[in-house]
Amino acid sequence: MDLKFIRENPDELRKLLTLRRVEFDLDRLLGLDAKRRSIAQERDKARHEQRKISERVSSAKREGKNCAEIVVQARGLSDRVKEFETELARIERELTQLIKTLPNSVHSSVTAKEELISEWGEPPKFSFEPLAHWDLGEALDILDFKAAARLSGSRFVVFKDAGALLERALISYFLDTHTRNGYVEIYPPVLANPACLEGGGQLPHLETDMYAMRDDPFYLIPTAETALINIHRGQVLDSSRFPLKYVAYTPCFRREAGSYGKDVRGMIRIHQFDKVELVRFTRPEDSYEALEEMRVEVEGLMQALGIPYRVKRLAAWDVAYQSAKTYDIDAWAAGVKRWLEVSSISNCEDYQTRRTNTRFRNAQSKLVFPHTLNGSGLALPRTFIAIIENNQQPDGSVVIPEVLRPYMAGLERIS
């Protein structure tokens, strides 16, 4: 967030923090900013005096006069300037860290309440009691939670046989669809340095939910968004190429530190999961149109898979720190009898590009920050859950959606 905006609009920022339910010591930030500007003025005065005394020393030397006393004054001023510079650097570091903990502003359409935007499809009806995915997956021998516990612990899953094939089919189908829609496929590292996570907005406030390397300065990425947002870090982009559209499949890693006791069974909330992520870089004036385009793209996947879903506009307090507006898409899962979030689609405006110092030249040749958008297209394994729970049959088999069959050697059902 821009410090000038904060300084000139403190009341607006207080309202934003209240709307987002974020605790932040704004008075401390404003106090540090005022102190920084005061010290900067004192430093500039000292520099001015330093220049005047330097001129007096030079003049005295030319005239052969004794300038020892003036030299002592000059050294004293030099020391004062250094002290001011040291204090300024300390305050600016503290200000920078404080500002990094501020959330993004929210779009004018985002309110204190969540809004249901639309629904598609009808939840399936059964002549029997549908099984939850953990029982169904075990019966079909396509999910093995016991093996995962032996390998890693709780909140992990092993996909087996047709289960592994279905997971891979979903990833391939998503990537193929998005690349046909003009996205450039990226396969990034899953280890990221702290600067990438700060740029994406995950650090510092999500640090406790990420896995950090013990001996190296890396984190396992919680989402491919982290990598894609930083792909142009520090660059000046050619705006004639906008929008830049990227898609990436990666495994994602989350500690789920705040979810103790929630969704313990199955794979609704696990430490490692697959996700296909979309990211766009756009001109600021185009970003909200791009947000709607991305929503249509993701809804197209859900419709092609035949999964009943709903679209929500998130409340301000529920929007991610880096986002100004977010749509969530929830899939209906018949076995667990609940809606499961399979996609979040967000406009982060210039929150991330300010942090990554990614810019472009506008029509007036001024360097400005582009807007970034991101969206899950889609997240697994919740999409997997919805497919097998909704498509289970009386004989215990699961019908495969038609669009996935070419990726599964023509397999029509898992028996």
Phi, psi of 9 (to 5 degrees): -135, 50
How many distinct structural domains can be found in the chain? 2
Note the pLDDT of residue 259: 60
Which residues are known binding-site members for L-serine?
223, 254, 277, 374
Let me know if residue 171 belongs to a domain.
yes
SS3 51: helix
pLDDT tens by residue, 270-314: 999 999 999 999 999 999 999 999 999 999 999 999 999 999 999
Q: Which residues are annotated as a binding site?
A: 223, 254-256, 277, 341-344, 374
Q: Tell whether 23 and 65 lie within a shared domain.
A: yes
Residue 108, in any domain of the structure: no
Q: Rounded CA gap, 343 and 238, in Å?
A: 30
Are residue 88 and residue 129 in the same domain, yes or no?
A: no
Query: Is 109 inside any structural domain?
Result: no
Boundary of a domain, candidates 67, 101, 135: 101
Q: What is the pLDDT of residue 221?
A: 97
Mean pLDDT of 141-161: 97
Residue 261 domain-assigned (yes or no): yes
Would 96 be classed as within a structural domain? yes
> End of a domain among 60, 79, 101?
101
* Alpha carbon distance 60, 67 (integer Å): 6
Q: Look up the domain containing 336 and give its range.
A: 115-414
Query: Are the beta carbons of 290 and 280 closer than 8 angstroms?
Result: yes
pLDDT digits (tens, 9 = 90+) for 358-386: 999 999 999 999 999 999 999 999 999 99
CB atoms within 10 A of CB 332: 22
In this structure, the answer to whether residues 203 and 148 fall within a common structural domain is yes
Q: What is the CATH number of the domain that holds 120?
A: 3.30.930.10
Known binding positions for ATP = 254-256, 341-344
Does 19 have pLDDT greater than 90? yes
**Average pLDDT for residues 390-415, to the nearest whole number?**
98
Distance CA 245, CA 4 (A): 31
Mark whether 350 and 209 lie in a shared domain: yes
Residues 54 and 180 in one domain: no
CATH code for the domain of 77: 1.10.287.40
Task: List helix spans (H) across 152-269.
Answer: 162-180, 194-200, 225-229
Q: Which of 52, 69, 101 is the last residue of a domain?
A: 101
Residue type, 69: E
User: How far apart (Å, rounded) are the C-alpha atoms in residues 222 and 349?
Assistant: 21
The mean-pLDDT minimum among 1-5, 36-40, 239-243, 246-250 falls in 1-5
Residue 258 pLDDT class (50, 70, 90 cuts): low
